[in-house]
Amino acid sequence: MRNPIYKTVCKMVCSGYSRKAVAEHLGIRVTTVYNHIKYAKSIGITTRFDRERILLATAPPHIEQWLREQAPEGATAGDVILAILNDAYNEDMEDESKQTENARG
């Protein structure tokens, strides 16, 4: 089943695409892009473009469920995502540091 177009619009905008680029990519008018964003806000998917809600609204259901299960009490799925990103960054920096040390001999 495909995502409704408003979810695609929200995901693209949150990924950094301009409204004009979204419209061109999807073959719709810029005003239609704004209408989809307005609709998403009206049904509670986003308030001021809450990236976490948009991400979860566009993620496959099994990913959304997994993220929610990983969140400790009082934390959000966004907190889990940030923790995952932080861990990946730290691992990457650690690997980079080891490579530099190995190159020095």
Residues 6+ apart with CB under 8 A from 88: none
Of the pLDDT bands very low, low, confident and very high (cuts 50, 70, 90), residue 50 is: low
Determine contact, residues 78/71, Cβ cutoff 8 Å. Answer: no
Q: Which residue has the higher pLDDT, 73 or 101?
A: 73
Q: Give pLDDT, residue 43.
A: 81
Strand locations in the chain, DSSP E?
none
Residues 6+ apart with CB under 8 A from 69: none
Q: Does domain 1-58 have CATH number 1.10.10?
A: yes
CB pairs under 8 A, 24+ apart, for 31-34?
Answer: 33/9
* pTM above threshold 0.85: no
Distance, CA of 58 to chain centre: 8
